[in-house]
Amino acid sequence: MTTTNGAPPDAADLRKRVADLVAAHDPATTEQTEFLAARFDAGLAWVHFPPGAGGLGAPRALQTVVDAEFERLGSVPTHRDGLSIGLGMAAPTIVAFGTEQQRRRFLKPLYTGEEVWCQLFSEPGAGSDLAAVGTRAVRDGDSWVVDGQKVWTSMAHRARWAILLARTDPDVPKHRGLTYFVCDMTAPGVDVRPLRQLTGEAEFNEVYLDGVRLPDSLRLGEVGAGWKVAQTTLMNERVSIGGRPEPREGGLVGVVSELWRTRPELRTRGLHEELLKLWVAAEAARLTKERLRQQMAVGQPGPEGSAAKLSFAELNQRISGLELELLGTEGLAYDDWTFRRPEGQDPLRRGAGFHYLRTRGNSIEGGTSEILRTIIAERVLGLPAEPRVDKNVAWKDLPR
């Protein structure tokens, strides 16, 4: 979509489009889903996406202009917890590899939050080595029949759709025998079971797939090219986890800094020095994320997203440890051990004990820290690749 003179929309044009939309749909009186649907139709959901897919084909950097203008005019989406997989991972993958029909079917309800998404990637026997997944998809006419087990699946208990990586050819090396699908979570044979975590909650799930029949129209990308499609998802996932925009003292460092200011009786010289180190590290990480977003504005996310996610995980764990040290025995009083399946993820509202336990998972979810270090070593620093003895071996012949 272009302006009347044929040029892509610029910042001034986008501000006018936002103002026109807000004038036609008063955020104070328009229901949020309806407002988001109007925003999608106007191409102001993701301005860099193509017209018809919630965008205008504008430069990605202009999304910040649109978001700031909506905020200035009193329209900030709320209740978006639990939508990160759809917004941050499924949507860019569908835009990159989906058909026009798939874009029309999935993107709008994904953006408005009417349909929640989850990610069926990890398996009990293939966590860090994602290319080793064993869930099978076998062609049967115009459909695929899927059997297998997935694990650590966030929000599967709420999801209407899932992105699914499955093995369609066990006779070729592991990276070449995968195909990528959209999975209907309401299809017969999909069984979602809660997986209680260290925190006591079941934010994650196990998902069993028993003879699940998926039409070929739910395939994303070519048969056997699932690894290539998954790379787009994974790069966006790491940016989504590690590259979220934050204000200064946003996130957990803000919680601990506020505790330091309001509870002077907890202070010691040693803890003060540790807080200063972590505050500086958090600020450096925040500015690094900002630079990453600027890089993304001119292209696709690269391996730099792995560095942002790695620093996010390590810093969060150190800050949560300092919070416990500050509070002493008070910090050991766990706020709530009630088993529940949360509707969203907002750990900052919980106590110090929850922060400490939940951040242990930060170095596992979205790619383990060990895998991320390998990516950084090979793709950022250009160091020699690790020896891979399974590179030319058929998946079915690999020891398991």
**CA atoms of 206 and 151, how far apart (whole Å):** 4
**CA atoms of 110 and 236, how far apart (whole Å):** 16
- Structure-token pair, residue 301: 């996310």
Beta bridge partners of 183: 162
Residue 183, Cα to own-chain centre: how many angstroms? 17
Could you tell me which of 241, 242, 239 has the C-alpha nearest to residue 300? Answer: 239
Three-state secondary structure call for residue 334: coil
Task: Please confirm, yes or no, whether 304 is among the known catalytic residues.
Answer: no
- Residue 269 phi/psi, 5-degree rounding, is -65, -40
Report how far apart, in Å, the C-alpha atoms of 10 and of each of 17, 20, 60, 65, 224 are.
Answer: 11, 15, 11, 10, 40
Which of these is catalytic: 237, 283, 323, 365?
237
Specify whether the backbone of 306 is left (phi greater than 0), alpha (psi in -120 to 50) or beta.
alpha
Q: Please identify every residue annotated as catalytic.
A: 237
